[in-house]
Amino acid sequence: MEEQPVISIIGGSIWGNRGAESMLVTTIGKLREIVPGARFNAFSYYPAKDRELVDDDLITILSCKPLSLATRHFLGALIVALFKRFGAGLPKGDFFKIARALSASDLLLDIGGITFSDGREKFLPFNILTIWPAMILRVPVIKLAQAVGPFRSPVNRFFAKLFIFRCGYIFARGEKTAEFLKDLGYPPDQFDTVADIAFLYKPEYSISDENSDKVSELIKRIRKEKKTGKKIIVFSPSVLVEGESRKKGLDYSTRLLDSMKKMGAKSYFYVFIPNATRESSEKTHNNDILTINRMKKDASSGGLPQAFKNAVDWVNFDINTASVRKIIGQADALVTSRYHAMISGLSQAIPTAVLGWGHKYRETMAYFELEEYSLDFGNPKNILANVLFNLLSRNPEIRKKIKKHLPAVCALSENQFKYLGRVLS
């Protein structure tokens, strides 16, 4: 292996899903500590926007949009592999830029949050094409902390066995994923159970600067409200949970606004922040800004009394993980429907409640003995205001509990980078 390795990373981006950003920048940051001077290929779903945001000579942003995966990744890899087999020089031209970058890589790290999972069969082509081209080019593939499985669906089970078994190593994000891998028959010496990458995030890992001036102004306002004795409640809603709520005939916006009405405007200051942002886009994918704008409209149209006019701030612009954490770090309590916003809260010992679905939230909250605050969004019996009052009344106790368990959780996450350190040495 060269002194300065080339490491390709797929499944993350800077713009869009800030959970994906937190995993991507943390992976780069941790690897730079292990192998200073390493070069990175970051395959992004939003390559043009990410190139605008990232100015780093050692990071090359390349596309992993669906069309690119099917053509430049897959077909390009097939052709490059043929050239290499017959001893010919690598094909030139822009079409082969991605395949050449993959071919020159020492590793491909897959940081996709969830892959090869029952009920998500429509994403199987994406899950396959993110790793197959590297396999064609004989580049080792390692899946960093992510959820995979379950594998009861015949289609999912078939393709999981075909492709997951060709990965060099898998880091299961949580015990459930580990159980699913055991059920699939995946070799026990080729996977380990870890916590999410983002538990190791540090502000210095950030590689973008987005609306930091606006965030600084917001922080000043929050601190001013704190000086008056107000408690700070941060909400991080999700466009995904909003959509799922609508399918079940539930009003997600009303549920959050009603909790505020029950708490009142006198003693609290509320901040709504997105953890998936595409400020210039009206598309719903990875765009919590749209949900926040709808909630803001509902609030001003009678959803909240006039007394709340100066008790709420709405962040409806692009912010990166560094800013997300700055804002959440000011909170006395956090309510979120985003997995990585939850991690941003827990990482800073902020009493956190989750309104979501699936085992991933509850499993992570269990690390901190906080399962009771992992709520099913579809259960109308979960009165959010009561949960918030509970978080606030038990604030010192909950902070102490999080701080007690946080080092062990971070150590779990650190295991995957210890493994990569051994591989890269």
Q: Give the model confidence (pLDDT) of 291-310 as tens digits.
A: 999 999 999 999 999 999 99
For residue 361 the two structure tokens come to: 């939230």
The C-alpha atoms of residue 278 and residue 282 are separated, in whole angstroms, by: 8
For residue 223 the two structure tokens come to: 């601190």
Residue 200: pLDDT above 60?
yes
3-state secondary structure of 35: coil
For residue 360, what pLDDT band results from cuts at 50, 70 and 90?
A: confident
Residue 1: pLDDT above 50?
no
The C-alpha atoms of residue 10 and residue 5 are separated, in whole angstroms, by: 16
3-state secondary structure of 134: helix
Give the residue, 277 or 383, on which the prediction is more confident: 277
Helices (H), 61-164: 66-68, 76-85, 97-103, 124-129, 132-136, 154-163
Contact 147, 174 (CB under 8 A): yes
Average pLDDT over residues 218-225: 98
Which pTM was predicted? 0.96
Residue 148: pLDDT above 80?
yes
* Per-residue pLDDT at 381: 67
Residue 378: pLDDT above 90?
no
Residue 335: pLDDT above 50?
yes
For residue 382, what pLDDT band results from cuts at 50, 70 and 90?
A: low
Residue 205: pLDDT above 90?
yes
Average pLDDT over residues 112-116: 94
* Per-residue pLDDT at 357: 81
Kindly report the average pLDDT of the chain as a whole number. 96
Domains identified in the chain and CATH numbers: 6-203+411-424 (3.40.50.11720), 210-393 (3.40.50.2000)
What percent of the chain has pLDDT above 70? Answer: 99
Contact 348, 328 (CB under 8 A): yes
Residue 379: pLDDT above 90?
no
Query: Which of these ranges, 125-139, 198-212, 354-368, has the smallest mean pLDDT?
Result: 354-368
DSSP secondary-structure letter at 106?
S
Give the residue, 360 or 109, on which the prediction is more confident: 109
What percent of the chain has pLDDT above 90? Answer: 94
